[in-house]
Amino acid sequence: MKLRLGTRGSALAKAQSQMIADAVTAATGRTVELVEIVTPGDRSAAPVQRLGVGVFVSALRDALQAKEIDFAVHSYKDLPTAPVDDLIIAAVPERADPRDVLVARDGLTLAELPPSSVVGTGALRRIAQLQALGLGLRTTPIRGNVDSRLRRVASGELDAIVLAKAGLDRLGRSAEATEALDPMLMLPAPAQGALAVECRADDNDLVEALSALDHPATRAAVAAERGLLAQLEAGCSAPIAGLAEISEDEIYLRGAVFSEDGRHAIRLSRTGTIADADQIGRLLAADLLAAGADRLFSVGGGVPSGDGETDENDAVPGSAQ
């Protein structure tokens, strides 16, 4: 029987969904049909922060629960941290490069951009970290698909944009990045570069079949990062970043909270075992809150937590640009 895979309509969403569809077919021998789903985030021109967490996944989950599709693929950083009772993340495939990249005019790197250069990004996390570098850069909010963002640099409208390396890689456009940004300068959003393959929890055969795509080290890293985010969301409204690295059975997790203006930041880390991944994230969040992370939003202006930009699973052509 053919499996129905729900996907958003953008080139990037369909590219990563097709990648998973091919992997499912290779693992199970079953054909997979892509079913395009339009989400509220695709229809709106409003900033992602105003639309709310999960705006790009709600319609996919509704279709799953209505049995209009059998499974869905999400950019993991788009998912709300609260679980959905009747759905399960059946697989977390091996993660793509989690770093951010710069795409700048004339092949410039971040350090080479002249002061007052205009950099496009809608992510408060990125804005804060760009401001913290003290390079005199100006930022402007952007939305839209990857192609439309790249065109704004090519046309000279923007001097540069910052987006997830995973998105460019999955579209086969890696060569357009002028610099991959070291996480010491630009710590990624929790779960950036990872995909979540979700289906109904009671579909036991499909849960088992999809588990062939699971990458345990990636699942553990994402669990630590999302544990950090979940704990901070309850007590902090400032931009949040986190990245876990796995070495054998150990996790090294870095987390940071920023004021919106980038003048203040709290950066801490924790280590632990893979078995305690979620707990490591929550303990690091407690460390950050104890160090004053809950007060940073009042320094730079009240802002929502999380990344605020979905450039791995981007808006469809013709939607908000």
Question: What does the domain layout of the chain look like in residue ranges?
Answer: 1-93+194-214, 100-180, 215-306
Q: What's the pLDDT band for 38 if we cut at 50, 70, 90? A: confident
Q: Which helix (H) or strand (E) covers residue 209, if one does?
A: helix 204-210
The pLDDT, as a whole number, for residue 310 is 54
CB 51 within 8 A of CB 235: no
Residue (of 98, 175, 161) closest to 130 by Cα position: 161
The pLDDT, as a whole number, for residue 21 is 98
Say if residue 124's pLDDT is above 60: yes
CB 161 within 8 A of CB 142: yes
Per the annotation, the verdict on 106 as an active-site residue is: no
Say if residue 100's pLDDT is above 60: yes
**How much of the chain, in percent, has pLDDT values that exceed 70?**
86
For range 26-54, the mean pLDDT: 69
CA 320 to chain centre: 18
Say if residue 29's pLDDT is above 80: yes
CB 130 within 8 A of CB 114: no
The pLDDT, as a whole number, for residue 308 is 46
Distance CA 316, CA 321 (A): 9
The token pair that represents 297 in the structure block: 């939003």
CATH architecture of the domain with range 100-180: 3-Layer(aba) Sandwich (3.40)
Q: What's the pLDDT band for 145 if we cut at 50, 70, 90? A: confident
| DSSP letters spanning 206-266 | HHHHHGGG--HHHHHHHHHHHHHHHHHHTT--S-EEEEEEEETTEEEEEEEEE-TTSS-EE
The token pair that represents 12 in the structure block: 């990037």
The token pair that represents 320 in the structure block: 């908000």
CB 65 within 8 A of CB 200: yes
Say if residue 12's pLDDT is above 50: yes
Q: What's the pLDDT band for 298 if we cut at 50, 70, 90? A: low
CATH architecture of the domain with range 1-93+194-214: 3-Layer(aba) Sandwich (3.40)
Mapped onto helix, strand or coil, the DSSP state of residue 63 is helix
Distance CA 111, CA 203 (A): 51
Instruction: Look at 32-46, 67-81, 182-196 and tell me which has the smallest mean pLDDT.
Output: 32-46
Say if residue 130's pLDDT is above 90: yes
Task: Work out the number of other CB atoms within 10 angstroms of the CB of residue 180.
Answer: 15
Say if residue 237's pLDDT is above 70: no
Helical packing angle, 216-233 and 277-290, nearest 10°: 30
Instruction: Look at 82-86, 161-165, 236-240, 271-275 and tell me which has the smallest mean pLDDT.
Output: 236-240
* Residue 261, phi then psi, degrees to nearest 5: -85, 0
Domain 215-306 class in CATH? alpha beta
Q: Name the catalytic one among 42, 78, 203, 311.
A: 78
Q: Please name the residues in contact with 284: beta carbons below 8 A apart, sequence gap of 6 or more.
A: 228, 242, 253, 255, 268, 269, 270
Residue (of 288, 271, 254) closest to 186 by Cα position: 254
The pLDDT, as a whole number, for residue 43 is 47
The residue type at 287 = D
Instruction: Look at 87-101, 168-182, 188-202, 234-248 and tell me which has the smallest mean pLDDT.
Output: 234-248
The pLDDT, as a whole number, for residue 295 is 87
The pLDDT, as a whole number, for residue 307 is 55
Instruction: Look at 45-54, 59-68, 240-249, 278-287 and tell me which has the smallest mean pLDDT.
Output: 45-54
User: What's the pTM?
Assistant: 0.89
Report the mean per-residue pLDDT for the chain. Answer: 88
When comparing pLDDT for 280 and 305, which is higher?
280
The pLDDT, as a whole number, for residue 91 is 98
For range 18-43, the mean pLDDT: 87
For range 115-143, the mean pLDDT: 94
**How much of the chain, in percent, has pLDDT values that exceed 90?**
79
Cα first-last separation, the chain: 39
The residue type at 275 = A
Residue (of 97, 245, 77, 112) closest to 174 by Cα position: 97
The token pair that represents 171 in the structure block: 């579209």
Residue (of 8, 59, 43) closest to 320 by Cα position: 43
Task: Work out the number of other CB atoms within 10 angstroms of the CB of residue 214.
Answer: 15
**Is 215-306 the same fold as 100-180?**
no
Say if residue 166's pLDDT is above 60: yes
